[in-house]
Amino acid sequence: MNSFAIGVDLGGTNLRIAAVDTTGKVLEKISTDAEVARGRDYVLDEMCNRVRTVAGKFGGDGRLTGIGIGVPGIIDRQTGLVHESPNLPGWRDYPVRDEIERRLRTNVILENDANAAALGEKWLGAGSQVSDMCMLTLGTGVGGGLVLDGKIWHGMTGMAGELGHTTVDPDGIKCGCGNRGCLEQYASATAVKRMALEAISRGEAPELAKAMDRDPELSSKAIYQMAAQRDEPARQIFRAVGQSLGIALANLINVFNLPMYVIGGGVANAWDAFAPAMLNEIQKRSFVYTATAPSRNAMQIEKSNDGASSRQSTIITRASLGSDAGLFGAARLPMITIRVQSPTPQ
C-alpha cells in the first residue's frame, strides 16, 4: 500500500478529516460538528482523538507521512501559530502546531484554508493539468490562493493570496479588513444577501421580498434560484457579482499571466448567473486576457478541463472538488512540504 497523509479541514461549523494516499485515493473520510464555541481545548481534543482513530486504522509500518490542517485564519508558518482567525476565538498566538505534534507524535503542517483549497484543486481538481493557478473561493467571505510551480505562494510572512481584499471599488462598502470596496464585499454569499436586502428595501425587488417573507434567512442559494427563474432584480445582483469578479480577475491576469483561474465556494454554484458579466468585464479590462483567450465560445470553457488542448490559453473555470478541495489540499501538505525551521545548533 502507498503511504498516506491525514488532511483536516477545520471550518467555523464543520470539522472534517480524511486519510488520503499519495495517489489521491481517500481511505477514510469523517465529518463532525466543529463546536468551536466550546473552546480551543475541546476542539483540539476532538480533533486529535479522531485523527488518532483514523491514523490507527492505516498507519502501520510508518506509512503516515504527516497531518495537514486547513484553518480559517492567518498562519505563521515558522512558529505554527494562528495569528488572526475570527472563527476561532481563543486560538490567537497559541502554539497549535507544536501542541498537536506533541499529542500525535507526527509532522503537522498548518495552512490557511483558502490556500489549502487552491492546493487541493491543483492536485486533484480543475488545476491538475497546469503547474500554476490562482483560486478564488466565494463563501461567507472571499478567499484566495496562488499555486506557483505546484506550490502555495506564501509571500514574505505567509499573508500572500488575500485576493478577497483587493479593491474593486475605491469608494465602496467598508470591509472588516479596514479597506473600502474589497472584492469580498461584492462577490461573497454575505454580499449577495446584502445586495438583495438593499434591493428589497428600495422597493425594487417584489419577488425577493416575497421569498424573504417565506424564509427570513434569504440565503444566497435562494437568491440564485430566483435568478435562475429569471427574476430581474436577482439576476442584476449576480451581474454585479460577475462585474466585481471580472475587475479583480482582469488585474490578476495582467499581473500573473497564469494558465488557469479557478472559482470555487458555494457562490460558484451561481456560475451561469455571474459568468457572462464576469467574462465581459475581463475582456474589457485585460489586454493580456484578450491576447490569450480561448478561441472557443467562452461559455464552454468551464465544461472543459482539458489543459492539454488549451495550454497557451487563459482558462477561467469552476472548481471541481466542491467542499472537498480544502480537505484534499490539507492532506497534500505533508506530502510536499519541507518544514520551515530555524537552524538548530550543531
CA atoms in the 13 A half-sphere facing the CB of 68 = 32
- At closest approach, how far in Å is the CB of 303 from Zn ion? 32
Nearest one of 132, 114, 154, 128 to 258, comparing CA atoms: 132
175 or 209: whose CB is closer to Zn ion? Answer: 175
- At closest approach, how far in Å is the CB of 165 from Zn ion? 4
- At closest approach, how far in Å is the CB of 241 from Zn ion? 16
Of 324-343, which residues contact Zn ion (CB under 5 A)?
A: none
- Is 175 a residue that touches Zn ion (CB under 5 A)? yes
66 or 181: whose CB is closer to Zn ion? Answer: 181
Distance of CA 213 to the CA centre of its chain: 32
- At closest approach, how far in Å is the CB of 143 from Zn ion? 12
Reading the block at residue 149, the C-alpha cell is: 510551480
181 or 329: whose CB is closer to Zn ion? Answer: 181
- Is 179 a residue that touches Zn ion (CB under 5 A)? yes
- Dist CA 208 CA 272 (whole Å): 19
177 or 340: whose CB is closer to Zn ion? Answer: 177
Q: Which stretch binds Zn ion (CB under 5 A): 133-141, 174-182, 230-238, 279-287?
A: 174-182
Q: What binding mask, one character per residue, do residues 222-241 give for Zn ion by CB under 5 A, x or -?
A: --------------------
Question: Which of 165, 180, 194, 285 is in the footprint of Zn ion by CB under 5 A?
Answer: 165
- Is 187 a residue that touches Zn ion (CB under 5 A)? no
Packing angle of the helix pair 271-285, 232-256 (nearest 10 deg): 40
92 or 165: whose CB is closer to Zn ion? Answer: 165
Q: Which stretch binds Zn ion (CB under 5 A): 2-10, 158-166, 285-293, 323-331?
A: 158-166
- At closest approach, how far in Å is the CB of 180 from Zn ion? 8
182 or 275: whose CB is closer to Zn ion? Answer: 182
- At closest approach, how far in Å is the CB of 185 from Zn ion? 7
| Residues in binding contact with Zn ion, number by CB under 5 A | 5
Q: Report the Cα–Cα distance between both ends of the chain, in Å, rounded.
A: 37
Question: Which of 177, 255, 291, 299 is in the footprint of Zn ion by CB under 5 A?
Answer: 177
- At closest approach, how far in Å is the CB of 69 from Zn ion? 25
- At closest approach, how far in Å is the CB of 214 from Zn ion? 32
- Dist CA 148 CA 157 (whole Å): 17
14 or 157: whose CB is closer to Zn ion? Answer: 157
- Is 182 a residue that touches Zn ion (CB under 5 A)? yes
Return the number of other C-beta atoms located less than 10 Å from residue 53's C-beta.
12
Residues that bind Zn ion (CB under 5 A): 165, 175, 177, 179, 182
